[in-house]
Amino acid sequence: MRRKEDPSRSLWHRTTILCLRKGKEVVIAGDGQVSMGATIVKSNAKKLRRLAGGEVIAGFAGATADAFALFERLEGKLEQYKGQLSRACVELAKDWRTDRYLRRLEAMMAVADRHVSLILSGTGDVLEPEDGIIGLGSGGPYALAAARALIDNPDLDAEAVARRAMAIAAQICVYTNDVIALEKLEI
């Protein structure tokens, strides 16, 4: 017997987070829209955070409270492993898979430092995309495709690529708006 799907469990897909590396920069961008079903609740939410004293940038797709819990856990792991992002993410993913409380969290994260960009998921995945570009949420595939098309343009820096890619995603995805927040690190 199949359980009826809870419509609220798919809400974490309704956002767009984009992370990319170009030249001497790494950026994470996120749209500002928060939706509940077909209703826009907020248009200027900030889904990005700086962690580890500003050395790590992160963005989330998912339930806000769950994302804050994960940000706090990741911050703790970064302190424990002295800023080693990859190690901290692997340890967080282990906890996420085995801890009864964490297993129920509905969120995904894109995190980056000067050396690596990673996707963290509740299924225990810690993935490093080979091209350094990450797209999460319902608008993620659109932003990802646009960023891949724009990344080799010599006239665009990382921030310009991210902003244009997010604008394209906002034109396609109804759960993505054009109120873009951006965090940047110099490599």
Q: What is the pLDDT of residues 67-121, one digit of tens each?
A: 888 899 999 999 999 999 999 999 998 887 777 666 667 788 999 999 999 999 8
Coil, helix or strand at residue 155: coil
List of residues 6+ apart from 25 with CB closer than 8 A: 157, 158, 159, 184, 185, 186, 187
Going from N- to C-terminal start, the domains of the chain cover 7-177
Query: Contact 56/85 with Cβ under 8 angstroms?
Result: yes
Q: What percent of the chain has pLDDT over 70?
A: 90
Is 98 catalytic? The answer is no
Q: What is the pLDDT of residue 12?
A: 44
Q: What is the pLDDT of residue 3?
A: 43
Please give the CATH superfamily to which domain 7-177 belongs.
Answer: Aminohydrolase, N-terminal nucleophile (Ntn) domain (3.60.20.10)
Q: Which one of the listed residues 15, 39, 64, 98 is annotated catalytic?
A: 15
